[in-house]
Amino acid sequence: MDYSPIWGRWYRWCSVSGKRVFTFLAPLLGLTFIDIDPNLQAAIMWIFAAGAVGALVIDRKQHGEMLPMVIGVAALLIIICTLYGFYHDAILATGYVLLLVAAFLNQNRSLAFLNRQVQAQAAELASVNHSLERRVNDQVEEIEKLARLKRFLPGEVADLITDEDKESLLESHRRYIACLFCDIRRFTSMTESMEPEDVMSVLRGFHEEVGKLTVKYQGTIGYRAGDGVMVFFNDPIPCDDPDMRAVKLALDLRASFNVLCESWRKLDADVGLGVGIASGYATMGVIGVEGRFDYTPIGNAVNLAARISDQAKDGEILISRRCHGEVESDVDAASAGEVSLKGIAQPVEVFLLKDLL
């Protein structure tokens, strides 16, 4: 441990305290030596009086007040005149009394200076405290922002956006995405025949599995309903292969869903899974109200993915022509022909995804 700052403060305190004690004692000691030999008295008085005035001069540099030093110098001149000009005990005593008055005034000015210093330090501490409080509030806002982002982004994506101050990525913009819709088939009829607690157990397992796979393939959940989820890729964090990531997530989800169905059979849950994938440009942005926002895409690719998902039968994964063109060399897929979709004027060709090559 470095003790030099402590010793420095101790030295300054002793120095200042010593000067002030000496300033008080000098005139008192001078008064004490009035009745001794004049020559010895002159030498002693010079030492004490000059030392006291010197202390006043040094303190003036600290508190900036001239009056104590002026009175001290006047007292010193009186003492010099009485010792080497016309000697008189009363006049000499007056000189020392003036020196004592100068010491009291100096002490008063020094205390006032110290009081101003303390007030300045208190104001500085208040400013530092305000700054720290502001920083704490900023950190709380960052935590709240991160919690808000994590409601619709994978944790690591939300961390990246917050840490690098890139929340501007969430502003409205256009981006090529791959969009996946998945939906539990016969969910409504299942809710009519099962206890609400069992329905919640099924939904919890489904959403947990979708969430894990979304994190695995670095997708973003843009829509979550009771029996359906929409996941999109390539925004807000870009990726080189959004269509392939969507395809891989769909295949993994189908396999996981089949495993979940085995455990749900004891609950008499007769359900299936349909998945639709489409890709294209969409407008990205935040929608919602304060306290509950969603980051979601809007555009033809999103509508197409939703309608293709509606066409998928149990266990089927249907993909759009554009998505198929992006992954054709890596997947086993066959054309399922053209289908008419609600809200889309012309029939569109869809492909039945079987597996990866």
- Residues 95, 31 within the same domain: yes
- Residues 307, 188 within the same domain: yes
Q: Give the global pTM.
A: 0.60
| For the ranges 82-86, 113-117, 122-126, 334-338, the one whose mean pLDDT is highest | 334-338
pLDDT, position 166:
56
pLDDT, position 46:
62
**Based on the structure, what is the number of domains in the chain?**
2
Mean of the per-residue pLDDT values of the chain: 78
Encode pLDDT of 182-233 as tens digits.
Answer: 999 988 888 888 888 888 888 899 999 999 999 899 898 887 887 899 999 9
Q: Is the pLDDT of residue 343 over 60?
A: yes
- Residues 100, 193 within the same domain: no
pLDDT, position 236:
81
| For the ranges 41-55, 99-113, 196-210, 240-254, the one whose mean pLDDT is highest | 240-254
Nearest alpha carbon to residue 158 among 40, 66, 293, 316: 293
Q: Identify the residue with better confidence: 157 or 329.
A: 329
Indicate whether 106 belongs to any domain: yes
Domain at 309, CATH number: 3.30.70.1230
Q: Is the pLDDT of residue 332 over 90?
A: yes
Nearest alpha carbon to residue 264 among 322, 345, 205, 316: 205
**Where are any strands of DSSP class E within the chain?**
173-185, 220-224, 228-233, 272-289, 292-298, 317-320, 331-339, 348-356
pLDDT, position 61:
67
Indicate whether 141 belongs to any domain: no
- Residues 114, 176 within the same domain: no
Alpha-carbon distance of 21 to 54, in angstroms, equals 13
- Residues 210, 119 within the same domain: no
pLDDT, position 20:
46
Indicate whether 152 belongs to any domain: no
Indicate whether 312 belongs to any domain: yes
Q: Which of 72, 100, 126 is the last residue of a domain?
A: 126
Indicate whether 278 belongs to any domain: yes
Encode pLDDT of 147-170 as tens digits.
Answer: 766 665 556 556 656 665 555 666
Within a 10 A sphere around the Cβ of 199, how many other Cβ atoms? 19
pLDDT, position 188:
84
Share of the chain above pLDDT 70, in %: 67
State whether the Cα torsion 276-282-284-290 is positive or negative: negative
Indicate whether 322 belongs to any domain: yes
Q: Which domain holds residue 349?
A: 172-356
Question: How far lies 92's CA from each of 35, 46, 49, 50, in Å?
Answer: 11, 12, 12, 15
Indicate whether 151 belongs to any domain: no
pLDDT, position 115:
80
Indicate whether 153 belongs to any domain: no
